[in-house]
Homo-oligomer: A and B are copies of this chain.
Amino acid sequence: MDSIKYLLNDNQLPENWYNLASDLPEPLAPVLHPGTGEPVGPDDLAPLFPPALIEQEMTSERWVPIPQPVRDILLQWRCTPLYRARRLEKALDTPAKIYYKYEGVSPSGSHKPNTSVPQAFYNKEAGIKKITTETGAGQWGSSLSLACEMFGLECLVYMVKVSFGQKPYRRAFMESFGAKCIASPSETTASGRAILEKDPDCTGSLGIAISEAVEVAAQNADTSYCLGSVLNHVLLHQTIIGEEAIMQMDMAGDYPDVIVACTGGGSNFAGIAFPFMGRKLRGQQDVRIVAVEPSACPSLTKGRHAYDFGDTAHLTPLVKMHTLGSTFVPPGFHSGGLRYHGMAPMVSHALQLGMCEATSYNQLECFAAGVQFARAEGILPAPEANHAVVGAIREAERCKREGKSETILFNLCGHGHFDMQAYIDYNAGKLKDYAYPEDEIAMALAGLPSFGNS
């Protein structure tokens, strides 16, 4: 049989992350201070992040070296495999060739440790003792717990209250690695207390949990805040995925015509797509790039490209991004990693410049595609990853209609082992689609800050 798997050796693990900022035809809009409307500098970020991460947030160097202690840990599960989905191709009867990179082999089951490990490392180097963060479905919290344990850091996770109740297994995973989990909104912060005062039954959101985690970090000198997506340095750390994929496509003697990636905050999308986008920008090789998001939280396809806060309590700086408004709370569909009101500034910028496309799918068609993929390829995807799967299947179906043998590449960013309740509900016909929350988004967008948006 022809190959289905392309593996790299340990000595092929990338030595540098790729920074898309170095190749952008127009620079990113500056980050603004919410009080003054002026661009922020490194000093403004110092209460939250260690110097090395602030530097990475702002650098325009093309290649940023991956420290050896970080590479040593990543090597436990990297380089991750690239698969040719031959059984799925056959099931779809498509002339297209479908490849997928699989990030579910990491110890927490997703791409998130690619950034939790370096973030923990740089914080440890800077003398930080404790890290705060937020988590929705728990992928990010699990990955950061793991990384903190490896570097001997305390880890405090504000977990969106509805998930805290519904996902006890994710919580147990974090606690097994020594992290402390608090249901958000909580009484432990001023922003949490303010929300509970207005609405004691509030079930929380990522925006609220970010507010609480940022507040704790800002008030304690030995404490930093870590974010699992959106920021430039987080996207940077994920580019190791695409860098490996370029080498692996080369092993396969192939190159993608289309790259498909799901996107919530943008780090998975950036991880697989940016290194290919850079090659395109440098005139090396053309490629179509498709971002897939949930119809019920459509920041790229329906949001406004504007300055907005990253959190609900408005403690963060203002960033220019595709946003649904910082007060928008997405409906309760089963992809916690994609339930965020904004999109990474760098991904938003790429869309504005026409360097990628964006599309959205409802959850029922995502789960149908996920189960079809599982039955063909044997891996049950995370609900977030189902968005990439459906996007790739639709491209393969288009190739069949058009009689084209294109090469499709997508990133399967995680497995669904901690999301089985969603599959139980799907198998039982209990999952539903959500109407596009037009009114809620309009209301949230009406509250955009004035700085930068005049």
Contacts and interface: CB of A to CB of B under 8 A. Distances in A.
Given A83-B76, A375-B178, A420 B168 contact: yes
A179 to B, nearest CB: 11
The DSSP consensus for interface residues of chain A is helix
Nearest to A8: B7
B76 A5 contact: yes
Interface in A86-125: 87, 105, 107, 109
Contact of A149 (B5, B76, B169, B375): B375
21 contacts: A1-B72, A4-B72, A4-B76, A5-B75, A7-B7, A7-B9, A76-B83, A76-B378, A87-B150, A107-B379, A107-B380, A149-B375, A168-B420, A168-B424, A169-B417, A169-B420, A172-B421, A176-B371, A176-B374, A176-B375, A417-B417
A427 interface: yes
Copies of the chain in the assembly: 2
A423 interface: yes
Contacts of A3: 10
Contacts of A379: 107
Interface residues of A, number: 43
A200 to B, nearest CB: 26
A146 interface: yes
Interface of A: 1, 3-5, 7, 9-10, 68-69, 72, 75-76, 83, 87, 105, 107, 109, 146, 149-150, 168-169, 171-173, 175-178, 371, 374-375, 377-380, 417-418, 420-421, 423-424, 427
Given A10-B7, A76-B4, A418-B417, A169 B378 contact: no
A417 to B, nearest CB: 4
